[in-house]
Amino acid sequence: MSDNVSEETAQKVVSTLFDETDTLCYLPTGRPIAHGLGNGDKVFRFHVKWKYKIIFHVDEAEETVIIAKFHHSSQDPEKLIENSQNW
């Protein structure tokens, strides 16, 4: 029973996070800048939902929002910065 409940909860979290990405189409550059992420080629921004940051950048030429990472706040922020150098 508890495995089923956990799986259902996880599915709801994933579904909600993906639904949140749809909201990024409206004024994506109005979201806060995620300073320190990337190698300087792109401006990364973020949107917070619960304890998750949806980290993304905007491809102005293609008029597209590109999701780089879903980051849970319990994860090491230094590792996030380090890993983002390859984005």
HEC-encoded secondary structure of the chain: CHHHHHHHHHHHHHHHHHHHHHHCCCCHHHCCECCCCCCCCCCEEEEEECCEEEEEEEECCCCEEEEEEEEECCCCHHHHHHHHCCC
Enclosing domain of residue 60: 2-84
Q: How many domains does the chain have?
A: 1
- CATH code of the domain covering residue 16: 3.30.2310
**Residue 40 pLDDT class (50, 70, 90 cuts):** confident
Burial of 11 (0-12, 13-18, 19+ CB in 10 A): exposed
Q: Give this prediction's pTM.
A: 0.82
Residue pLDDT, tens place only, 6-33? 999 999 999 999 999 998 988 898 999 9
Residue with tokens 């390859």: 86
